[in-house]
Amino acid sequence: MNFDYAGIDQQSHDSVPPQDPDQPSNNNFPSHVSSIIGSCRGVVRGGNFLQDCEVVDVQEELGNPIPARTVRGHVNNIIKFYFEQHSVMAQAQILHGLIKHKKMKPATKFLGFEDAKTKQTCENAIENVKIALSSFGKSRNDDVRAARRAITTAVMSRSTSRNRMVATMSSLLKVSKRTLFKYTKFRVRIDENDEVACWALICRQPYRCRMAEGIKDKVIEFWDTHSRAIPDRKHVLRKRLSRNVYREHCKHVMEMTTVALYEEFQETNPGVQISFSMFNKLKPWYIRPNTIRDTCCCRYHVEFELYYETFLDFCKRHLPGEPAPHTVRDFISMILCNRNPEQVFFNKKCVGGKRCPECSDLTLFHRKFGIDPKDPALSDITVIWKRYEYVSMDHASSSTSVPSKRIDLLEDEIPISDFMVKFQSQIYKYIKHSHRSRWQASQFKHSREVFEPGTILSVVDFAENYTFAPQREIQSEYYHSDQVSIFVHVLYRHAQASIDGRDSTPQSREVIKEYHFYVSDDREHDTLFVQHCFGVIYDSLRHRGVSFTEHWIWSDGCAGQFKSARSFYWLSRIHKETRVRHTWSFFETGHGKGEHDGAGACVKRALRRYQMNHGATRLKCSAEVVEWCTRNLGHESHEQAKPVHRLYSILEVKII
């Protein structure tokens, strides 16, 4: 065991006679012996050792010191009887054995001798910290930066700068002094404030305007509700969670630019303070820019945007002094009365366009632009009028064919006076339609948040038929492909102790979300199909013991499926038969897209991926689809991001 002396001040004493450099050296001892001799010389030079012993209050533990005269006598006797008659090498060995003896350990420890192993351990720890910091490099990864902050802050303290060791530490760790001073301030804050002494948080400078609690979830939900789900099996995204663990989600596309979404978020949430960069950073991973065909659009919105583009082009060319807003939303805000900061919707009397004394009959519109359709000066100006209309499709080649109609985009060049009459007639139609669609979307969102225990909430719609397409297909099979219908039913209910092991209460809501898919070979999407599916789900709920006294249903307004006399008659009968109160709400025309469309896309995507495998079993009918989906998709999700549990079930439907 090697020792190095440290702790006693080396003071001047009688110097050792110099050695002739030409003479052979007698001090070619092993390194451990040389270090011991140097340490012993330091002990002899300690002239004030007795005074130091008298100052230190350790008499009760180590005993009282003896006079210096007695010490010198004992030292002279030891040297005379045990050292003088031996060589220098033997003297070094005796001294080394004396210091190494276990009975001398308390004395050597009091003198400040350090264990060489302890010193090597400290040096090794410093070297390990240096290697760790150098391996990080200049990486900007969040985990790497957190590890760098924690390690550097741990090795620094206030005593480091107080003892003027920052420069030495900088050379040892290969870290700049400026960085070490910065982390010293972090360490001081940790040591002085016990309440916020968190290494991960205190080492990060707080934002000037940190988001309040719940703002992050509100922004993410805004992104999700203001993007459109793609109900196509080809557009299902996957995110890697861990090794061989992935999460699938239907692709959402943005219906407007990020700047426009940010402005709308600020308009609908005036009390929320968030920067544009943070708003964009909180965009969910499955929302992408719209780089594909924009399908399933609302005719009212698209057609009015075509009208407004023509009007905006006319204002730029002929009314340079009266610039029109660049977006339809800003245009509507300009021609209606201003809303209060806490209001999300315009006043009803302003939306109707008849009862408001300030903005009725386009008063603000005429005041802003002052365009008179009867002005003769406008008769020579023409614009391109774009609109959607139904056109007849006559099949002249077939004598038995029945003329059919289809909607198409038509363009005509008309005078601006005629266009302004048509444009002004469409303004209030669009305002009412947009107001109803937004209000119904907000009511659906509100109903999901407030429905009480004993009530179930459903969102239903048909998915696009799934076409069987095996991996290997002969040429003739392409024209005779089979299809199955998929009816998607998203059901929300409160947890019940008899089924889920816990109860949901108004104070502690525990909502269970269930996805039910009804697959059938019947490709008629009519009200009888819907009625049969609801009968199946009611039987399933009664069999599982789910109790409810009220049922809220949301769907689109398709007359052939939901919004018809037959559907209302069935609803009145099922209300009496089940003793359950039903409330059926419809989304505005052209709207109602939601997660049920994405759920159907996920099922079709899974089926398509399976059929693309060479060794996959060929699916031919709905029974085989139900069997495969039940085996591979009928499981409960373990997603814990929100207090909503997802339960997938595949049910076969047979239409009689």
Q: What is the 3-state secondary structure (H, E, C) of 524-592?
A: CCCHHHHHHHHHHHHHHHHHHCCCCCEEEEEECCCCCCCCCHHHHHHHHHHHHHHCCEEEEEECCCCCC
Domain 451-652: CATH class, spelled out: alpha beta
Reduced to 3 DSSP states, what percent helix, strand and coil does the chain have, rounded to the nearest 5? 50, 15, 35
* Domain extents in the chain: 3-17+26-111, 118-202, 215-288, 299-394+403-437, 451-652
Q: What is the pLDDT of residue 242?
A: 85
> Nearest 10 degrees: CA dihedral of 222, 226, 227, 228?
130
Segment 443-454, tens digit of pLDDT: 999 999 899 999
Quick one: pLDDT at residue 458?
A: 95
Nearby residues of 132 by Cβ (< 8 Å), 6 or more positions away:
147, 151
Predicted TM-score (pTM) above 0.75: no
b/e string for 297-326 if b means 16 or more Cβ within 10 A? ebebbebbebbbebbbebbeeeeeeeebee
Residue 290 is predicted with a pLDDT of 75
Decide: 431 and 351 in contact? Cβ < 8 Å. Answer: yes
**Beta carbons of 520 and 622 less than 8 angstroms apart:** yes
pLDDT at 553: 95
**What tens digit of pLDDT does each residue of 142-187 get?**
778 888 888 888 888 888 878 788 888 888 888 888 888 888 887 8
Coil, strand or helix: which one is 400?
coil
H-run or E-run covering 316: helix 299-318
Please name every residue paired with 415 in a beta bridge, in sequence order, or none if there are none.
382
Cα separation of 447 and 463, whole Å? 23
> Which tokens go with 152?
């550097």
pLDDT reported for residue 652: 56
User: Residue 192's Cα: distance from chain center in Å?
Assistant: 34
The residue length of the chain stands at 656
- Compute the CA torsion angle 128, 130, 132, 135 (nearest 10 deg): -130
- Tens-digit pLDDT profile for residues 201-258: 444 544 444 566 688 888 998 998 888 887 766 678 888 888 888 888 888 888 788 8
Asked whether 458 and 491 are in contact (CB, 8 A), the reply is yes
pLDDT classification of 462: cutoffs 50, 70, 90: very high
Closest among 458, 460, 456 to 493, alpha carbons compared = 456
Lowest mean pLDDT among 376-380, 403-407, 619-623: 376-380
Q: Tell me which of 59-63, 282-286, 549-553 is least confident.
A: 59-63
Which residues contact residue 310 at a Cβ distance below 8 angstroms, ignoring those fewer than 6 apart? 383, 384, 385, 386, 419, 423
The tokens for 610 are 């399976």
For the CA atoms of the chain, what is the radius of gyration? Answer: 42
Residue type, 497: A
Average pLDDT, rounded, for the chain: 79
Asked if 304 and 328 count as a contact pair (C-beta separation under 8 A), the reply is yes
Does residue 548 carry a pLDDT above 70?
Answer: yes
Six-digit token string for 346: 């315009």
Closest listed residue to residue 420, CA positions, set 462, 375, 463: 375
Tokens at 523, concatenated: 């490709």
Unique residue bearing structure tokens 């920067």: 275
Report d(CA 364, CA 370) in Å as an integer: 10
Q: If DSSP codes are grouped into helix, strand and coil, which group holds residue 423? A: helix
Please say whether the dihedral angle defined by the alpha carbons of residues 198, 203, 209 and 215, taken in this order, is positive or negative: negative
Please choose, from the candidates 554, 561, 557, the residue with its C-alpha nearest in 3D space to the C-alpha of residue 584.
554
Chain segment 9-61, per-residue pLDDT in tens: 333 333 334 444 444 444 444 444 444 444 444 443 344 444 444 444 555 66
Angle formed by the axes of helices 177-192 and 142-155, to 10°?
A: 80
Q: 387 vs 42, which has greater pLDDT? A: 387
Which two three-digit tokens encode residue 265? 């978020």
Whether 587 shows a pLDDT value over 90: the answer reads: yes
pLDDT-based confidence at residue 127 (cuts at 50, 70, 90): confident
Give the mean model confidence (pLDDT) for residues 586-606.
88
CA torsion angle 612 613 614 620 (round to 10): -60
What Å distances lie between residue 184 and 149, 166, 187, 284, CA to CA? 11, 10, 5, 37
Rounded-to-integer distance, Cα 336 and Cα 364, Å: 7
- pLDDT tens digits for range 486-531: 999 999 999 998 888 888 888 888 899 999 999 998 888 999 999 9
The single-letter code of the amino acid at 238 is R
| Spatial separation of the C-alpha atoms in residues 415 and 409, rounded to whole Å | 19
DSSP H helical ranges for 156-257: 158-162, 166-173, 177-192, 199-202, 215-225
Q: Are 593 and 296 in contact (CB under 8 A)?
A: yes
| β-strands 581-586, 550-555 pairing | parallel
E-strand stretches of 432-474: 455-467
pLDDT digit string (tens) for 57-116? 555 667 788 888 888 888 888 888 888 888 888 888 888 888 878 888 788 777 777 666
Report d(CA 6, CA 291) in Å as an integer. Answer: 72
Percentage with pLDDT > 90 across the chain: 22
Residue 656: C-alpha distances to residues 224, 297, 522 (Å): 39, 35, 10
